[in-house]
Amino acid sequence: MYTSCTQDPPRAANAHVANELHAGLEARDAWISPKFLYDALGSKLFEAICELPEYYPTRTEAAIFARHGAEIAHAAGSGTTLIDLGAGNCAKAASLFPLLAPAQYVAVDISAEFLNDALGRLRQRFPQIAMEGLGMDFSTRFELPPSVAAGRRLFFYPGSSLGNFTPDEAQGFLRRLRGQCGDDGAVLIGIDLVKDKATLDAAYDDALGVTAAFNLNALRHVNKLIGADFDIRAWRHHGFYNEARGRVEMHLEATRPQHVHWHGGSRRFEAGDCIHTENSYKYQQADMIALLERSGFEATRVWTDPQRWFAVVHAQARAKAQVKVIH
């Protein structure tokens, strides 16, 4: 689904969204894809989440880039086509521009409105870098337009977003990237590592309630997309680490019985019924490297924080290379 710069016909895109939402809401165990957390308001709420003391991934990853930025830039090389997946406000990629010096920056995000505002500001700061924004849902299919330079593509996927996919889905996603990057391409990816349950529970259910607002906003977004009549006051956020499955789960739980309608369907929810909105899988470092290898990449460098809570991995679409871990 493209909504900016390169786009499907609007009617076809809207039908795709409606069909996906209908399928999730009508499933035995109701679900909404996490991509629908990110409209313009959802993107701003996620920015706020990244500032919370409980939400360690952003600051931990930032510390890795600050400590090892020169080494990361050396591994990635300069003059690449930097493709920022889930770019949001583009701040993470922009902080690396002085080190990476990309020839072209391609920001990709499902929230086209939020993305275009961010790019407008970024072009003023870095006029020497060619920039393009793509409002795109890259979770199920991914094909870059001809305007994106074909050589030396570096896919940048920071944060813990890969964890939103199941391991099988993550492999399919990485294989799609491999198909788009050529033999001289690479990925630079952030990976959230396994840690204690208390830390993970707090990160996804903060005391201030910002994550709850972020999750509940998905219902407001669904109301807008398919004309649903969810009463947000009748739902509450539930986020926790499922140790058996190795993932954080986010759900919306009905606080009272209700009948929800939308264009083309409806559903009865009883008190306690849940809608599953997000998974965030946490990886062992060795498992992440193995996943990249199965997907057509070779991890060349891995950087972690001293607590080994988070890892940044550079992986090349090439033949065998030795993995080096830096703490």
Contact 302, 327 (CB under 8 A): no
Helix (H) or strand (E) holding 246: none
Residue 307 lies in a domain: yes
Number of domains, the chain: 1
Residue 162 lies in a domain: yes
Residue 39 lies in a domain: no
Within 10 A of 168 (CB to CB), how many other CB atoms are there? 8
Alpha-carbon separation of residue 98 from 49, 78, 92, 142 (angstroms): 26, 10, 12, 28
Residue 270 lies in a domain: no
pLDDT tens, the chain, 327 aa long: 323 333 333 444 588 899 999 999 999 999 999 999 999 899 999 999 999 999 999 999 999 999 999 999 999 999 999 999 999 889 999 999 999 999 999 999 987 888 888 899 999 999 999 999 998 888 878 889 999 999 999 999 998 899 999 999 999 999 999 999 989 999 999 999 999 999 999 999 999 999 999 999 999 999 999 999 999 999 999 999 999 999 999 999 999 999 999 999 999 999 999 999 999 999 999 999 999 999 999 999 999 999 999 999 999 996 544 555 666
- The CA distance from 223 to 13, in Å, is 17
- The CA distance from 314 to 141, in Å, is 23
Domain of 170, in residue numbers: 56-194+282-326
Tokens representing 311 are 């890892």
Residue with tokens 């406000």: 89
| 7: Cβ contacts below 8 Å, ≥ 6 apart | 13, 135
Tokens representing 104 are 């072209």
- The CA distance from 326 to 255, in Å, is 47
Residue 75 lies in a domain: yes
Residue 161 lies in a domain: yes
pTM greater than 0.85 (yes/no) = yes
Residue 131 lies in a domain: yes
Helix (H) or strand (E) holding 156: strand 153-157
Assign residue 169 a region: left if phi > 0, alpha if psi is -120 to 50, beta otherwise?
alpha
- The CA distance from 177 to 161, in Å, is 15
CATH number of the domain bearing residue 111? 3.40.50.150
Q: What separation, in Å, do the N-terminal and C-terminal C-alpha atoms of the chain show?
A: 39
